[in-house]
Amino acid sequence: QDFLKTLILCAYASFLFGWHVHEKAVMMITLPMSLLVLEEKRMTRIYLLLSSAAHISLFPLLFTSAETPIKIALFILFTTVSFLSLPMLKSENVESPSTPENTRINLLHSFIPPFEGVTHTDTLIIVSLVLIQIYCIGFHGIGGFLANLTFLPLLLTSISCSIVVIWTWILTLKMYLTKERHSIKFRTE
């Protein structure tokens, strides 16, 4: 597990601070994290956010209208399976689902099924990514002065996905450093 964590943090550093990074490079982070999430359940939240942003960041690479239904269907299928199957993995580090804050009904959770790991902020992030893609794929070319800005969909996709990748990097670092601090504290007692 330590090797995978280190590999993930190195991949984040390479992606975030590299001179020229292509959209496909985010898979260097996502693939090892998909293995780690099976062992360390508290990484589920970060993985779901990162994989959503990673898949959406690859959308501009499939730019023809014939590829659009395929990329949307694959994204919906993968995201739905991930959100429904990963929470089924039992975790000993998660609060019980009977707490009052977990029983509140949220309108955004009607689009994305709630579970113990995903917060309201995470749901808002994913819904925002999807709304940006709905604009980029469906509404950008329809009239108005924005239709002349051909780079705008790519710019919106890149900026929104990079914000999510940076956010997941911060969450991963926080999780890694706090766990290491606790384990060092545990060893010294």
pLDDT digits (tens, 9 = 90+) for 112-171: 445 556 788 888 998 999 999 998 888 877 777 777 788 888 899 999 999 999 999 999
pTM: predicted TM-score of the whole model, two decimal places = 0.76
| C-alpha to C-alpha distance for 109 and 138, rounded to whole angstroms | 24
- For the chain, give me the number of helices (H) and strands (E)? 7, 0
Map residue 20 onto helix, strand or coil.
Answer: coil
What pLDDT, on the 0 to 100 scale, is given for residue 116?
A: 57
What pLDDT, on the 0 to 100 scale, is given for residue 148?
A: 78
What pLDDT, on the 0 to 100 scale, is given for residue 51?
A: 93
Tokens of 14: 């390479």
The number of angstroms, rounded, from the C-alpha of 68 to the middle of its chain's C-alpha atoms is 21
